[in-house]
Structure 1
Amino acid sequence: MGGVVEAIYIAPEGSAEMQPVEEVKAIEGCGLDGDRYCEGTGYWTPSGDVCEVTLISGEDLDYIQDELGLRVKSGEHRRNIVTRGIDHAQLVGKRFRIGEAVLEYDRPRPPCAHVQDLTEPGMTRALVGRGGHCARVVEGGRIRPGDEIVFLT
């Protein structure tokens, strides 16, 4: 086992507040149902710099909140899936199952100034090196908080 899903967030369009969900459907070649990037309404959609699904470490969010004093526990990080108990370096080059879905590592997701515009000063700097990763949906299916993250390759 590689860890678990701690929380899931989606936003219906770019700049919209991230909303926690108790279940989401991952759609192959698209992302998360109802999320801005799968819907084509994300901030970066016109530039083509789109991640189907973004993941971020809960341990990194703990550090940002506890050590730097920034609010990140309610989706201010702008990432879809918060993981717990997994070293994100292990994701590189891998396929992994989360719930019913199979995802594949795509690339790191560095923070952008837009994240800070939507949150508070210092957020972009806090997320440097802790911005999470992008993944592609290889096989669709339901994902829920508490689902295990299981490496396939």
Structure 2
Amino acid sequence: MAGLSGPLGQLLATLPQTGRVDWIGLRPAPRAPMQEVDAVLAEAGRGLAGDRWAGRPDGARQLTLLQAEHLPVIAGCAGLAAVEPARLRRNLVISGLNLLALKGRRFRLGEALCEYSGLCQPCSRMEAALGPGGWNAMRGHGGITARVLEGGWVRIGDALAVEHLP
């Protein structure tokens, strides 16, 4: 992590865990139902083939990632027994890795090289998706956004691993 030294810098730089792609979904059009897929082509500088955000001018939101471990938390905060990933309208659900630890980093996602571009805040549509209070249930659990630097296929079961620079 550039600019940080000492114990905090060391802690921030240490990320040996590898995540796993558990779910993939595409949003073909605004307000259209999510399409669950087993694999998707991540296109450099564009995003995910078939997703409505692919190639849009806001390159920071080429793909969205949600942490699998947050699904039960979101459900509990919304007063639901469970919540399916498609209701939350993110592209990828990743398990085994704290997505916030990707801040300022590049990472391999299947065959693609991506980089963290920001937090993925919940939108007002979460009220309809999860019921009254849905937006607040997702606060702090909305995941992250990323850019695609090098294209490639991303499949269910693929690893998400941090790129360690020499």
The TM-score range, normalised by the shorter chain, is 0.7 to 0.9
- Spell out the pairing of 1:1-153 with structure 2 (5 A cutoff): 1-38=17-54, 40=56, 48=58, 51-66=61-76, 68-70=78-80, 72-153=83-164
Displacement of 1:58 in angstroms is 0.6
Gaps of 5+ in 1: none
Which amino acid is the alignment partner of residue 21 of structure 2? V
More displaced stretch, 110-119 vs 54-63: 110-119
Gaps of 5+ in 2: 1-16
Report if aligned partners of 1:15, 1:118 keep a CA contact under 8 Å in 2.
no
Specify the SS of the correspondent of 1:17.
coil
Specify the SS of the correspondent of 2:104.
coil
More displaced stretch, 18-27 vs 61-70: 61-70
Q: Which has the higher contact order (CA 8 A, sep 6+)?
A: 1
Give the TM-score normalised by structure 1.
0.87
Aligned CA distance change for structure 1 residues 151 and 50 (closer, same or farther; 3 Å): closer
Displacement of 1:93 in angstroms is 0.5
Give the TM-score normalised by structure 2.
0.80
Query: RMSD value over aligned CA atoms?
Result: 2.0
Give the structure with higher Rg (CA). Answer: 2
Indicate the percent of aligned positions where both proteins have the same amino acid. 38
Specify the SS of the correspondent of 1:60.
helix
